[in-house]
């Protein structure tokens, strides 16, 4: 089994593994999650037509690999609501610095709901070059991310 290892900055620590979904452009949380949240769906199917990497893919309980999030300032609350509904990602792995939109929703979920979405940022552009949809990702609490293929 071939694996690639990356080291990032820990935002919300934890150990987990899961299936990767990957976007090489910004993730618009509002556009991606809102439709499923409003319908009280059992899964989040990405509704952002402007993101061909993720459109119509299941984001529930996945390891989302992305450069950063973009869009409306309500994105953080939409993410927090998705986590509260049990529809959040297992982890979020950022190639760049985490942005304030994602940080708000993830930290609020952790503090208010006691539901942690393991989060690591500053993994670098090489990380997004190395990871593909469906691969298994292992995350350690020290910010070590291993892509298994």
* pLDDT tens per residue across span 11-22: 999 999 999 999
CA distances from 106 to 4, 51, 63 (A): 26, 21, 14
Distance CA 102, CA 32 (A): 13
In this prediction, residue 15 carries a pLDDT of 98
User: Which residue is listed with tokens 């500053």?
Assistant: 122
Q: Which residues of 58-68 are buried (b: 16+ CB within 10 A; e: fewer)?
A: ebbebbbbbbb
Distance CA 116, CA 107 (A): 8
Contacts of residue 15, defined as CB under 8 A and 6 or more positions apart, other chains included, come to 118, 139, 140, 141
Tell me, what DSSP letter sits at residue 98?
P
Domains along the chain? 3-148 (3.50.30.10)
pTM (predicted TM-score): 0.97
pLDDT over 80 (residue 29): yes
pLDDT over 80 (residue 109): yes
In this prediction, residue 1 carries a pLDDT of 67
- pLDDT band for 93, please (50, 70, 90 cuts): very high
């Amino acid at each position: 089994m071939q694996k690639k290892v990356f080291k990032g900055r820990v935002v919300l620590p934890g150990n987990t593994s899961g299936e990767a979904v990957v976007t090489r452009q910004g993730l618009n949380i509002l556009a991606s999650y809102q439709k499923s949240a409003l319908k009280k769906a059992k899964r989040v199917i990405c509704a952002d037509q402007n993101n061909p990497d993720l459109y119509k893919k299941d984001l529930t309980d996945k390891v989302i690999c992305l450069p950063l999030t973009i869009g409306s300032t309500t994105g953080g609350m939409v993410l927090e609501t998705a986590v509260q509904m049990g529809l959040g990602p297992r982890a979020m792995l950022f190639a760049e610095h985490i942005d304030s939109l994602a940080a708000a929703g993830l930290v609020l979920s952790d503090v208010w709901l006691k539901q942690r979405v393991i989060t690591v940022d500053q993994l670098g552009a090489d990380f997004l070059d190395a990871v593909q949809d469906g691969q298994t990702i292992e995350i350690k609490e020290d910010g070590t991310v291993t892509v298994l293929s």
